[in-house]
Amino acid sequence: MDSIKSVIRQMAKGHDIEQFNEKIMSSLLRHGDVQAFLNSHPDITAAVVEKSIPHLFQFVQERNHCDHCPGLDKCPNILKGYQPELVYDKATINLTFHSCPLKQRNEEMKKQAELIRSYYVPDDVLQATFQSIDTGDLDRYDALVAARDFVKEYTENPKETKGLYFYGQFGVGKTYIMGAVMNALKDKNIPSLMVYTPDFFRELKGSIQERTLDEKLDYIKKVSVLILDDIGAEIISPWIRDEIIGSILQYRVMKKLPTLYTSNYNYDELEEHFSYSQKSGTELLKAKRVMERIRHYTKLVTVKGKNRRI
């Protein structure tokens, strides 16, 4: 408030103070919002109004800024992105502030951006929408229907919705459709996370020394919708299979949090992949244990079509 008072004092230099106060008061009282405020509070006296000149001056000045808004980045108001409101409390006129529409939109965009998280996923996938996918491609029709149905079912009944398992050859668009799922969920304020599994699992090994492993696992376990992209492309080890994948899936099954997958392997081929590691050889039982948490909690969808990366 001192800055406003100093502005008024600077304006008053070289003028008779009483005449200046009358002039500025007259100017402030002509402002439509000030008039409306005073009309709604007929008990406000002239003395209260005179004592409140600094608040009224700031209100009018900042409202004029808003009427000729230069954009959020160049907002000249003392509280950037906030509009003033007059309030009458305890025989005093004060100011309160609320975020302007541009500020609200900016915050909403930030919030929306935070709903989509990813590890090692291309930007074009994160921008995918159902509208941007060629719906005339009959080879991917079943996958698109399944993806749309998942979003609808999850929105209506999240605890009872199965995940999806997209199986298909390289480049047929499995990951891109999952990107569209993420954006459809974002529009409904549902957070999701997509992880490119080979790179992410490599990162987790480094997280042990950095002491960030538990933090990363905790987030991936608890996110509303998790998408494990290209599962089966990772180099398997007992630690990855049992301590990472098994731990994540066990938690999500218990909490009824759906997990979606893309893979070049079908269920049986992925089970075979999980069963073998160079260090421990073949461990069929442990592979089956992980696959139980995938088979029974996903819908298998075969994605066909040409390789779009060529």
* Low-confidence winner among 108-112, 117-121, 160-164, 172-176 (lowest mean pLDDT): 108-112
Question: What value does the mean pLDDT take over residues 250-274?
Answer: 97
Structural domains present in the chain: 2-99 (no CATH), 114-302 (3.40.50.300)
Q: Residue 20: how many CB atoms within 10 A of its CB?
A: 16
In whole angstroms, what is the distance from residue 304 CA to residue 306 CA?
7
Give the lowest-confidence range in 174-188, 203-217, 270-284. Answer: 203-217
Q: Are 92 and 53 in contact (CB under 8 A)?
A: no
Q: Band of the pLDDT at 50, cuts 50, 70, 90?
A: confident
Decide the pairing of beta strands 276-277 and 281-282: antiparallel
- pLDDT surpasses 70 at 202: yes
Residue 90: which residues within 8 A CB-CB, separation 6 or more?
A: none
- How confident is residue 1, by pLDDT bands cut at 50, 70 and 90? very low
What is the predicted pLDDT for the residue at 87?
A: 94
Q: What is the mean pLDDT of residues 264-274?
A: 96
Mean pLDDT to the nearest integer, 91-113: 83
Q: What average pLDDT does this structure show over 223-237?
A: 94
Examine the pLDDT at 85 and tell me if it is beyond 90. Answer: yes
pLDDT of 12? 47
> What mean pLDDT is predicted for residues 187-193?
90
- Own/partner contacts of 244-250, CB < 8 Å, gap of 24 or more, are 244/201, 244/204, 244/217, 245/274, 245/290, 246/286, 246/289, 246/290, 246/293, 247/217, 247/221, 248/217, 248/220, 248/221, 249/290, 249/293, 249/294, 250/293
Per-residue model confidence as pLDDT tens digits over 15-49: 545 555 677 777 888 889 989 998 999 998 888 88
Rounded to two decimals, what is the model's pTM?
Answer: 0.68
- Predicted confidence at residue 77, as pLDDT, reads 92
Mean pLDDT value across the chain: 87
Count CB atoms within 10 A of the CB of residue 22. 12
